[in-house]
Amino acid sequence: MKTIFQRCRFNLFIALFPALLLFLPGCASVSVGNINDKGVAPKKLPAKIFVQEFTAPLENFRVDRDEAKLHLFVQAERHALALNLVQQLSKYIAPAEILAEGTPLPKGNVWLVQGTYDRVNQGSRILRAGIGFGAGGTKMETRAQVSSLASKKPNIFLSMITTGGSGMAPGAWAAFTPAFAFYWPGAIANAGGASFSGLSLDRKRTAREITATLSEYCFQQGLIPERRTRRPKKLGALPTLQRPDFIIPKTGL
């Protein structure tokens, strides 16, 4: 009977294996810190939130590209993060859109999200898939601030830093233990999860944590009810329990 049960468990694993790979993000984690609320707190939610693409000094990017390809990579990264922020902000706080570079700042009951890339390390997908446990891990660090544009000059009322990366999950080699010699399903699962991780997942989580920090601030100011509030993962603190915001990672940036 025990042998039959074990065989059924194994067959179930094989059947669900393709779906499991989609949800093995390689232990990506992004946290926020240095959260500083200052200036004059807004009295109500904005009619719209504008997002400027983050400034991105090229020397802060450690990726496998140079010269023209590096410029294109950074340009695409900046735009992708802005799009991720627009999606998250629109979903949890207020309608949002990208404010094109060079466009004069609008006035009125609107907010502006700006930021800077302080560090981007692409890591190595091969090392993450094969070894893991931090080998070949990625790193993304940003500074972000939110301003109200209701007055003549932008009023910065919230600022923060974000930091995190991917690659702490075990790679394929971890499945080949003495107890499970040549356990190929585990090896493939480890390698698949680690290979899905990368800057694209770090970027999505960065946008999510910036939005969650702003969401918590809005709740503290009485602008949104607790049931709508997202809680950020703060540096040095355990993450709070909340409804998960699923992210299916993609390969690429």
Q: Of 10, 30, 15, nearest to 233 (Cα)?
A: 30
Domain count, the chain: 1
| Domain annotation covers residue 235 | no
Q: Flag whether 209 is in a domain.
A: yes
221 belongs to a structural domain: yes
Helix (H) or strand (E) holding 148: strand 139-148
In a domain, 195, yes or no: no
Q: Give domain status of residue 24, yes or no.
A: no
Give this prediction's pTM: 0.73
Question: Which domain does 80 fall in, by range?
Answer: 31-121+138-165+201-228
In whole angstroms, what is the distance from residue 44 CA to residue 14 CA? 52
Is there a domain that residue 45 lies in? Answer: yes
DSSP H helices in the chain: 2-22, 67-92, 125-130, 184-196, 199-220
Classify the C-alpha dihedral 72-75-79-82 as positive or negative.
Answer: positive
CATH code of the domain containing 77 = 3.40.50
- Asked whether residue 240 is assigned to any structural domain, the reply reads no
Q: Could you tell me if residue 80 is inside a domain?
A: yes
Query: What does each of the 253 residues of the chain score in pLDDT, given as a tens digit?
Result: 545 545 545 444 444 444 444 444 445 589 999 999 988 999 999 999 999 999 999 999 998 888 889 999 999 999 999 999 999 999 999 999 999 999 999 999 999 999 999 999 987 544 444 444 444 578 999 999 999 999 989 999 999 999 998 754 443 344 445 544 444 444 343 334 444 447 899 999 999 999 999 999 999 999 999 999 999 999 987 666 566 665 444 444 5
* Bridge partners for 111 per DSSP: 49, 148
Place of tokens 């999860």: 193
The pLDDT score that the predictor gives to residue 240 is 66
Q: Specify the amino acid at residue 220.
A: Q
Pairing of strands 61-62, 139-148: unpaired
